[in-house]
Amino acid sequence: MKVYCYPKCSTCKKALKYLDEHGQAYEVLNIVENPPSKEMLVQIFSQTELPVKRFVNTSGMKYRELGLKDKIGDMSQEEIAGLLSSDGMLIRRPLLMTEDAVLPGFKEAEWARALGIDS
């Protein structure tokens, strides 16, 4: 499994600690230095039932700076994927990717369900 994280993010640290405590093996990718590609994001969007906006870091400074609140609703999935792949700080983090699931953000119950961890 892969976990896209920002090293200074407290939620990312909490998520990695959770994985460690539950004996989960994972690969950490720096979401700023190595964001998912546009193609990967388009594929993720098509494979999940989550709304695309769930993958956007709506509480980040970049989101506000770019005025995306008023723009994102009119953008196609491909345009959003291109935007997110161009700047990892626009992606909700951590981003967990397993063979069977993709989860943006850390919600312990969702991660436990996706990873088969008894909580």
Residue 17: the pLDDT is: 98
Residue 119: the pLDDT is: 60
Q: What is the mean pLDDT of the chain?
A: 95
| pTM for the predicted model, two decimal places | 0.92
Q: Say whether pLDDT at 100 is over 70.
A: yes
Band of residue 118 on the pLDDT scale cut at 50, 70, 90: confident
Q: What percent of the chain has pLDDT over 90?
A: 94
Q: Say whether pLDDT at 67 is over 70.
A: yes
Q: Say whether pLDDT at 8 is over 70.
A: yes
Domain 2-115 CATH (choose: 2.30.30.90, 3.10.20.600, 3.50.50.60, 3.40.30.10) = 3.40.30.10
Q: Say whether pLDDT at 76 is over 70.
A: yes
Dist CA 36 CA 73 (whole Å): 21
The residues pairing with 30 across neighbouring beta strands, listed in sequence order, are: 5
Alpha carbon distances (Å) from 7 to 14, 36, 88: 11, 16, 12
Domain ranges within the chain, ordered by starting residue: 2-115
Dist CA 20 CA 119 (whole Å): 14
Q: What percent of the chain has pLDDT over 70?
A: 99
Which pLDDT tens digit goes with each residue over 18-47? 999 999 999 999 999 999 999 999 999 998
